[in-house]
Amino acid sequence: MPSDVILGEGDFRYRVDRDWAKLPDGWSFQEVAAVGVDAADNVYVFNRGAHPMIVLDREGNFLRSWGEDIFAHAHGIHIAADGTLYCTDDGDHTVRRLTPDGRVLMTIGVPGRASPFMGGAPFNRCTHTALSPQGDIYVSDGYGNARVHKYSPDGRLLLSWGQPGVGPGEFNLPHNIVCDPDGWVYVADRESHRIQVFDGNGRFETQWTNVHRPSGLCMTFGACPLCYVGEIGPYLKVNRAYPNLGPRVSILDNRGNVLARLGRTQDGVGQEPGQFMSPHGIAVDSRGDIYVGEVVRSSWPSAFPDRPVPPDLKSLQKLIKQ
């Protein structure tokens, strides 16, 4: 059952449900890198456990799993309008297009082969994928590069932009990417604490600087799209306990104005209802419920360096719109 914890206010109130997912006995996500929702509100959980893609219905009931022989290290997921999935694997430097039951239709990148570190060529630990309204493919790249690559729908490289730095069009870890209904491209420039906005050919338009280490991104479609941002908190010893910096989920309009901040950030990082550890992947269903995936095991040593990682960390929660 959902907890009695309510996050947000006004039009953005959500009840926290940390026990929404019902997995088969003995199964675990380990940690959830990304979440996607299809047109039927089925939820695809791209995780780092033994079963990389776990599919649940909107009530959390288990439907199927796949990907055990495909993925090296789950990182990003985008579900296209036709229901196919674009899965970004930073462990083997690829983007794969798959059917909803896990059949590979296209692979971009050479599995297991990274491009030279910060060399600009795709890919070196690519992080996420987004589609334009016309079907062009954008890939943020990533941990070992500071680039965005644009591909045609059939996987031909069209152009790339970006280099290491803090100026317009430069990146300090491009961690996530989304497109809006007009074709603008939004890149979570995580370690520069900003979201950069580009046209479809990589021309810098503006930046939003009212976020802290933006990690997860989700953009809704429609006349007035909203941007859901998973922000991860500070991790240095000197500022680890600072309040009001995250981790949290923020909701922005398409001009970057903050509409809501969700999360008990005054209590810091944690596993209690209403707290987050590292909101890494975000998806929103047709009713406005938010699914938040967290890389809890990766973030635990930064948050609690003197405590061993517990075996039963929760890495997926549902925020039910009230």
Q: Is 167 among the domain residues? A: yes
For the chain, give the percent of residues with pLDDT over 90: 88
User: Is residue 19 a contact partner of residue 56, using CB atoms and an 8 Å limit?
Assistant: no
Q: Based on the structure, what is the number of domains in the chain?
A: 1
d(CA 62, CA 38): 15
Residue 302 parent element (H or E)? helix 296-303
Domain boundaries, position 232: 6-321
243 falls in which pLDDT band (50, 70, 90)?
confident
Number of Cβ atoms within 10 Å of the Cβ of 219: 21
CA distances 73 to 33, 92, 204, 228, Å, are 9, 7, 31, 24
3 falls in which pLDDT band (50, 70, 90)?
confident
Quick check: 246 pLDDT over 90? no
115 CB contacts (<8 Å, ≥6 apart)?
93, 121, 122, 123, 124, 144, 145
Q: Is 214 among the domain residues? A: yes
Q: Which structure tokens are listed for 121? A: 């060529």
CATH number at residue 80: 2.120.10.30
Q: Is 96 among the domain residues? A: yes
Strand partners, 47: 32
CA distances 201 to 88, 133, 170, 205, Å, are 21, 14, 15, 11
The lowest-confidence range among 20-24, 194-198, 245-249 is 245-249
Nearest to 179, CA basis, from 86, 104, 258, 101: 86
d(CA 252, CA 269): 22
Q: Is 1 among the domain residues? A: no
Q: Is 155 among the domain residues? A: yes
pLDDT attached to residue 25: 96
Q: Is 258 among the domain residues? A: yes
User: Is residue 173 a contact partner of residue 195, using CB atoms and an 8 Å limit?
Assistant: no
pLDDT attached to residue 151: 98
Quick check: 222 pLDDT over 80? no
The lowest-confidence range among 6-20, 35-49, 226-240 is 226-240
Q: Is 83 among the domain residues? A: yes
Q: Is 188 exposed, middle or buried (0-12, 13-18, 19+ CB in 10 A)?
A: buried
The lowest-confidence range among 58-62, 144-148, 242-246 is 242-246
Quick check: 223 pLDDT over 80? no
Quick check: 95 pLDDT over 90? yes
The lowest-confidence range among 114-118, 135-139, 161-165, 273-277 is 273-277
Assign 266 to helix, strand or coil.
helix
User: Is residue 90 a contact partner of residue 73, using CB atoms and an 8 Å limit?
Assistant: yes
Quick check: 110 pLDDT over 80? yes
268 falls in which pLDDT band (50, 70, 90)?
confident
Q: Is 313 among the domain residues? A: yes
240 falls in which pLDDT band (50, 70, 90)?
confident
